[in-house]
């Protein structure tokens, strides 16, 4: 019986559990012996594996986070750590590995494939910044969390006639800010892909006031940097934007940082369905002898994308949508 392990790595995202469940249940149907690696690549280094049968993954489709735990393993980037990880692969006689995670995790899968371990990736990251997939697991749930937050903030923004700066996740990707802003009816969206001067932001808010808008919702991605500046590590760009608006004197401003709230929660139907489909595809690929690829979503279709292409930009942030946000803020 081929022995296949599954791990979750990097930032958790809602739907990872549904993906684990799908790999285990479809894998056992295909005659594979399934194992879970705890704490991602850190667990592979430490040899923390557990057998996973169909019952072990019961009652998790609706749970956020990951039952396998996750980590960002700096050690896996070292020669020593990699040596230990390969020793675990040999010790447990693994015939294949499924990696559920974002860009860094999928690069780890690619490296293991290059070392001779058949590996297949499943894209999961709330940032939606992975090449080759229209949607990664967890994006839809995170977006709904952002929109729910914006709805609540709008209530109080309207009542007090204030501006609300809402900082959302996305160190290098403005996807959540852009799509969350569009769906939440934001007046301004600030993303890393479009450096914008803060003076322009306050002019935009003032323009709204002139048009009779007495409140403003400004969504800013954590990785945004005002035009001509670089992102500052460890400081909140939301705070900078909020302070600038308050100082400009045209409107009272408050700041909300949504932070890790965006990473938790029960996955939406969309994320569960995506996770089920990609989980099934990943084990099928391995059982058919295909590896070095990621199971991904292209439009409505599940497709395979070579892990060799993972360094490419995702192209998921669409400037037409950026312009639409401003067209609708009129």
Distance separating alpha carbons of residues 297 and 294, to the nearest angstrom: 10
The answer to whether 293 touches 304, Cβ cutoff 8 Å, is: yes
Cβ burial, residue 210 (10 Å; 0-12/13-18/19+): exposed
Give the binding range for ligand F6P (CB under 6 A) out of 105-113, 121-129, 201-209, 282-290.
121-129
* Min separation Cβ 131 and ligand F6P, Å: 15
Is 127 a residue of the active site?
yes
Near ligand F6P by CB under 6 A: residue from 23, 45, 119, 127: 127
Distance separating alpha carbons of residues 205 and 247, to the nearest angstrom: 13
Residue closer to ligand F6P (CB basis): 15 or 102: 102
Residue closer to ligand F6P (CB basis): 102 or 184: 102
| Structure tokens, 162 | 């204030």
* Min separation Cβ 136 and ligand F6P, Å: 10
Distance separating alpha carbons of residues 174 and 159, to the nearest angstrom: 29
Residue closer to ligand F6P (CB basis): 118 or 138: 138
Q: Which of residues 203-242 bind ligand F6P (CB under 6 A)?
A: 222
Three-state secondary-structure class, residue 288: coil
Of residues 12, 53, 95, 127, which has the active-site annotation? 127
Question: Half-sphere exposure (CA, 13 Å, Cβ side) for 257?
Answer: 14
Helices (H), the chain: 16-29, 40-46, 79-91, 103-114, 139-160, 175-183, 198-210, 237-248, 269-287, 319-328
Residue closer to ligand F6P (CB basis): 95 or 127: 127
Near ligand F6P by CB under 6 A: residue from 8, 11, 265, 271: 11
Near ligand F6P by CB under 6 A: residue from 160, 171, 203, 309: 171
Residues with catalytic roles: 127
Tell me which residues touch ligand F6P (CB under 6 A). Answer: 11, 72, 102, 125-127, 169-171, 222, 263
């Amino acid at each position: 019986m081929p022995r296949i392990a599954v791990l979750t790595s990097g930032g958790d995202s809602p739907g990872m559990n549904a993906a684990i469940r799908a790999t285990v249940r479809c894998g056992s149907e295909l005659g594979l012996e399934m194992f879970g690696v705890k704490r991602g690549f850190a667990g592979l280094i430490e040899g923390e594996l557990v057998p996973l049968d169909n019952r072990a993954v019961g009652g998790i489709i609706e749970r956020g986070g990951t039952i396998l735990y996750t980590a960002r393993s700096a050690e896996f980037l070292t020669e020593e750590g990699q040596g230990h990880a390969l020793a675990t692969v040999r010790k447990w006689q693994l015939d294949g590995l499924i990696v559920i995670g974002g860009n860094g995790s999928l690069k780890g899968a690619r490296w293991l494939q290059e070392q001779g371990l058949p590996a297949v990736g499943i894209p999961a990251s709330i940032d939606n910044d992975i090449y080759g997939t229209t949607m990664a697991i967890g994006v839809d749930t995170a977006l709904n969390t952002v929109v729910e937050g914006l709805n609540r903030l709008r209530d109080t923004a309207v009542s007090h006639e204030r501006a609300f700066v809402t900082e959302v996740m996305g160190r290098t990707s403005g996807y959540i800010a852009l799509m969350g802003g569009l769906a939440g009816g934001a007046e301004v969206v600030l993303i890393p892909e479009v450096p914008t001067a803060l003076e322009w932001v306050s002019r935009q808010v003032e323009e709204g006031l002139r048009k009779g808008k007495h409140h403003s919702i400004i969504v800013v991605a954590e990785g945004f940097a005002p035009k001509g500046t670089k992102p500052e590590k460890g400081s909140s760009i939301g705070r900078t934007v909020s302070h600038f608006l308050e100082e400009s004197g045209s409107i009272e401003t408050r700041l909300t940082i949504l932070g890790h709230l965006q990473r938790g929660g029960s996955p939406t139907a969309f994320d569960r369905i995506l996770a089920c489909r990609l989980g099934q595809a990943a084990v099928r690929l391995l059982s058919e002898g295909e590896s070095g690829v990621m199971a991904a979503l292209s439009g409505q279709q599940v497709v395979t994308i070579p892990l060799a292409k993972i360094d490419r930009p995702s192209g998921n942030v669409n400037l037409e949508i950026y312009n639409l946000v401003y067209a609708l803020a009129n």
